[in-house]
């Protein structure tokens, strides 16, 4: 039996943030980062929350949200009698808000089972990247070990996602590029995931079509609102796809690279994407029994984004070439040393990367079985 459930209400297109005007006489906690305060974005959102009884702002989110910051957020909620949490920012702010609401509820269910109320979560993404506004995942970082901990639970899904392209247009080209490559990686990994279905395929196909068409436009001109709107939708659709079927080896390696070297999430994904596709599609006799289906799906995806793909092999080759071309166009690093990490540092951490990637929850969903040697071969290819 397969299951398809998307519980988040999605409001999208220009002026979608006006929906916040409908919140009346409720207590709101806005969870965000310092940039959103300094850039004036928080003031814009506070104006839309003018009908609320109170609005308190917690702006201590930092990238790759660590557990000690999540604890501060839970403490911040304590005396607010909060009805709604509004998460404003990229994946880090949205994940932080999801984790704070989730853990606050767990604590209250134990301490005040009679009076505990359910706080509703509204997500306002300001990057077109993680799709966190519609997923059942939140990624937090263990403050002591630096390891990323994925929380996975249906109740982590925000109640409402507001996709307003106005919120993304301030993202500079490098953030647009990194987060956009995260969208493409989500769509491609979900498309070939072990448990992919017709439902997740439909979402991944549309997300890929939109992202390959509109990401270069967003990169060229961040104020191109139509392109931003389309990319925001692509991000959300890709998020829905992978929330249904999980991701794969690409995210398994990227999580390790992000946690160890602090490479931004989308950049780490993009670095390994061509090599993971090549690995999953390997059509040598030994690998074929695992990867024939993936190669055919990559071929189909290549066709969908308008590339020649008369055979699986040509489709895979052209898909990889298109990803490399897009990365060069957006001036993205294509190896570890171009990310500012020395080969010595990389080699010193190699075994740790392999160990973490092997046990990452995403790796388990990869369509082709993975061994430590396979990861080492991919690491050889991204080193320099």
Ligand X SMILES: NC(=O)c1ccc[n+]([C@@H]2O[C@H](COP(=O)([O-])OP(=O)(O)OC[C@H]3O[C@@H](n4cnc5c(N)ncnc54)[C@H](O)[C@@H]3O)[C@@H](O)[C@H]2O)c1
Which residues contact ligand X by CB under 6 A?
A: 33, 35, 63-64, 89-93, 95, 126-127, 129-132, 135, 137-139, 167-168, 170-171, 175, 179, 182, 265-266
- Category of 311 on φ-ψ map: left (φ > 0), alpha (ψ -120 to 50) or beta: beta
Return d(Cα 4, Cα 130) in angstroms, integer: 20
Return d(Cα 14, Cα 18) in angstroms, integer: 9
Q: Are 253 and 273 in contact (CB under 8 A)?
A: no
Q: In the complex with ligand X, which residue's Cβ is closer, 88 or 305?
A: 88
90 binds, among ligand X, Fe ion, none (CB under 5 to 8 A by kind): ligand X
Q: For Fe ion, which residue of 104, 133, 178, 182 counts as binding (CB under 5 A)?
A: 182
Stretch that binds Fe ion, among 71-79, 177-185, 354-362, 363-371 (CB under 5 A): 177-185
Following DSSP, what letter does each residue of 184-201 receive, concatenated?
HHHHHHHHH-TT--HHHH
Longest dimension (CA), the chain: 66
Look up tokens 């000690």; give the residue. Answer: 68
Q: Is 205 in the site for Fe ion (CB under 5 A)?
A: no
176 binds, among Fe ion, ligand X, none (CB under 5 to 8 A by kind): none
Compute the least distance from the CB of residue 321 to ligand X, in Å.
25
Best CA proximity match to 335, nearest among 321, 349, 346, 320: 346
Q: In the complex with Fe ion, which residue's Cβ is closer, 44 or 151?
A: 151
Compute the least distance from the CB of residue 364 to Fe ion, in Å.
16
Give the pairing type, strands 27-33 and 84-89. Answer: parallel
Q: In the complex with ligand X, which residue's Cβ is closer, 263 or 302?
A: 263
135 binds, among ligand X, Fe ion, none (CB under 5 to 8 A by kind): ligand X
Compute the least distance from the CB of residue 127 to ligand X, in Å.
4
Compute the least distance from the CB of residue 274 to Fe ion, in Å.
16
Dihedral sign of CA atoms 350, 356, 362, 364 in order? positive
Q: In the complex with ligand X, which residue's Cβ is closer, 69 or 119?
A: 69
Return d(Cα 237, Cα 183) in angstroms, integer: 9
- In a 3-state reduction of DSSP, which class is residue 28? strand
State the binding string over 132-171 for Fe ion (x if CB under 5 A, else -).
----------------------------------------
Compute the least distance from the CB of residue 182 to ligand X, in Å.
6
138 binds, among ligand X, Fe ion, none (CB under 5 to 8 A by kind): ligand X
Compute the least distance from the CB of residue 129 to Fe ion, in Å.
7
Q: In the complex with Fe ion, which residue's Cβ is closer, 82 or 327?
A: 327
List beta partners, residue 125.
89
CA distances from 40 to 33, 43, 47, 49, 143 (A): 12, 5, 11, 15, 29
Compute the least distance from the CB of residue 164 to ligand X, in Å.
11
Return d(Cα 242, Cα 106) in angstroms, integer: 25
Q: Are 72 and 109 in contact (CB under 8 A)?
A: no
Compute the least distance from the CB of residue 132 to ligand X, in Å.
4
Reported residue count of the chain is 384
Q: In the complex with Fe ion, which residue's Cβ is closer, 84 or 137?
A: 137
Compute the least distance from the CB of residue 285 to Fe ion, in Å.
33
H or E stretch at 299 = helix 285-304
Best CA proximity match to 101, nearest among 31, 54, 197: 31
129 binds, among Fe ion, ligand X, none (CB under 5 to 8 A by kind): ligand X
Q: In the complex with Fe ion, which residue's Cβ is closer, 182 or 360?
A: 182
35 binds, among Fe ion, ligand X, none (CB under 5 to 8 A by kind): ligand X
246 binds, among Fe ion, ligand X, none (CB under 5 to 8 A by kind): none
Return d(Cα 187, Cα 211) in angstroms, integer: 9
Structure-token pair, residue 268: 């780490």
89 binds, among Fe ion, ligand X, none (CB under 5 to 8 A by kind): ligand X
Structure-token pair, residue 38: 């300094």
Q: In the complex with ligand X, which residue's Cβ is closer, 17 or 167?
A: 167
Q: In the complex with ligand X, which residue's Cβ is closer, 65 or 315?
A: 65
Name the residues that contact Fe ion, by CB under 5 A.
Answer: 182
């Amino acid at each position: 039996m397969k299951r398809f459930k998307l519980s988040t209400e999605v409001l999208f297109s220009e002026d979608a943030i006006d929906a916040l005007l409908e919140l009346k006489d409720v207590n709101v906690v806005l969870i965000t980062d310092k940039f959103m305060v300094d850039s004036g974005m928080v003031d814009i959102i506070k104006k839309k929350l003018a009908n609320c009884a109170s609005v308190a702002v917690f702006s201590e989110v930092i990238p790759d949200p660590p557990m000690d910051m999540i604890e501060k957020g839970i403490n911040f909620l304590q005396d607010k009698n909060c009805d709604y949490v509004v998460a404003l920012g990229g994946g880090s702010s949205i994940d932080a808000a999801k984790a704070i609401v989730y853990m606050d509820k767990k604590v209250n269910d134990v301490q005040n089972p009679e009076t505990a109320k359910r706080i509703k979560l509204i997500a306002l993404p300001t990057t077109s990247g993680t799709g966190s506004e519609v997923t059942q995942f939140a990624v937090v970082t263990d403050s002591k070990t630096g390891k990323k901990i994925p929380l996975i639970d249906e109740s982590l899904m925000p109640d409402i996602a507001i996709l307003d392209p106005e919120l993304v247009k301030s993202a500079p080209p490098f953030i647009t590029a990194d987060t956009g490559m995260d969208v493409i990686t989500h769509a491609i990994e979900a498309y070939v995931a072990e448990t992919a279905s017709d439902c997740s395929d439909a979402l991944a196909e549309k997300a890929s079509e939109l992202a390959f068409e509109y990401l270069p436009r967003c990169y060229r001109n961040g104020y191109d609102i139509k392109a931003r709107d389309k990319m925001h939708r692509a991000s959300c659709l890709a998020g829905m796809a992978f929330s249904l079927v999980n991701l794969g080896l690409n995210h398994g390696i990227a999580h390790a690279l992000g946690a160890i070297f602090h490479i931004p999430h989308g950049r780490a994904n993009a670095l390994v994407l061509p090599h993971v596709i090549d690995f999953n599609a390997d059509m040598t006799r030994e690998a074929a029994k695992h990867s024939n289906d993936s190669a055919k799906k990559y071929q189909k995806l290549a066709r969908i984004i308008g590339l020649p793909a008369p055979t699986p092999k040509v489709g895979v080759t052209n898909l990889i070439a298109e990803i490399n071309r897009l990365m060069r166009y957006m001036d993205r690093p294509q190896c570890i040393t171009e990310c500012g990490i020395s080969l010595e540092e990389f080699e010193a951490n190699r075994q740790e990367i392999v160990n973490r990637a092997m046990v990452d929850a995403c790796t388990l969903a990869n369509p082709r079985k993975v061994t430590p040697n396979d990861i080492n071969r991919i690491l050889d290819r991204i080193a320099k």
